[in-house]
Copies of this chain bind each other. A is one copy, B any other.
Amino acid sequence: MTPPDSAAATPPADALTALRTLLADDMAEVNRLILAYMQSPVALIPELAKYIVAAGGKRLRPLLTLGAARMCGYDGMAHCGLAACVEFIHTATLLHDDVVDESALRRGRDTANAVWGNQASVLVGDFLFSRSFQLMVESGSLDVLRILANASATIAEGEVLQLTTAGDPAASVEDYMKVIEGKTAALFAAAAEVGGVLAGRPAAECEALRTYGQSLGIAFQLMDDQLDYAADQAALGKSVGDDFRERKATMPVIVAYGAGSAEERAFWDRTIGEGDQQDSDLAEAHRLFARHGALEETGRIARRHAEAAAAALDCFPAGAHRTALQDVAAFCVARAY
């Protein structure tokens, strides 16, 4: 096991920078591929794709593919195509999520669907998903294709499950975990695993990479769900309280509901269950979270998964890439954005 202190020794904000610096050349190639594959003679496609892809984001998922491949001793450049592919899958799901959630802000800007309409967001999402598929065919590995195809199906299942559990403040932790394992962790897991598969590493190592990505994805999403209530809106780059307005049964709500009095549960049933919300309700939700330590509990669970992620990489030889990937796990649960 990695002692938790070893990860904490690197200031978390620098952990992502360290990984990016280590993989700067690879990432430049990934960015080149992303720009090349978003091109199309149909002008609206690069226009809309550029808006969402160029908006930045952390590019965490492609970094996992690049870092895993390099840690495994891969010395080619095909991992860049897979990293771009992973980012395209992510971007396509963002476009479709925004349609679904009717979000107004993403990464601090208007969502694409608010600018171009739902129709364009759905179809350009489909285009980017198809592009991801073309990129992974280029890898020439059926194992890689199978992993990413399975991840895509699992992501969609998680998104649909989220839709069916929305509006149920009494949703179980088990259902919530299934949602985030699907909508988030499946792609993190696949992103890390394909790095090892491309490098031709044995099954046990590929499985360890998968566990790393899976645990990291769960930790990441738990923090996302905590930050949706706790973050500074400017730093987060999206609206605080979106999940509340969208009646999502995320971990903070599930914890507060589980520990709540009958009167408190009636509050959650009205606001999340029936969607009957007043302006003052978000502040009341915060008071209930504070009373039951719901945001802290969400953070604690996130940290447990981040530690499991770091520990999963202990089977690899020590080195700069392993350290950076393990530190990223600490970053994910310490980030404020």
Contacts and interface: CB of A to CB of B under 8 A. Distances in A.
A268 to B, nearest CB: 22
Contacts of A157: 40-42, 45, 127
Given A142-B142, A145-B137, A152 B123 contact: no
Q: Which 4 A-B pairs have the closest CB atoms?
A: A127-B156, A130-B152, A130-B153, A126-B156
Interface in A121-155: 122-124, 126-127, 129-131, 133-134, 137, 140, 142, 145-146, 149-150, 152-153, 155
Interface centre among A44, A126, A150, A163 (most CB of B within 10 A): A126
A136 to B, nearest CB: 8
Contacts of A131: 153
A76 B143 CA distance: 23
Interface in A99-121: 99-100, 118-120
Instruction: Count identical subunits in the complex.
Output: 2
Q: Give the interface SS of chain A, mostly helix, strand, loop or mixed.
A: helix
Given A130-B152, A133-B149, A133-B153, 12 more contacts: A42-B161, A42-B164, A44-B160, A123-B160, A123-B163, A126-B129, A127-B156, A129-B129, A130-B153, A137-B142, A137-B149, A145-B145
B146 A137 contact: yes
A93 B163 CA distance: 20
Given A99-B118, A142-B142, A45 B160 contact: yes
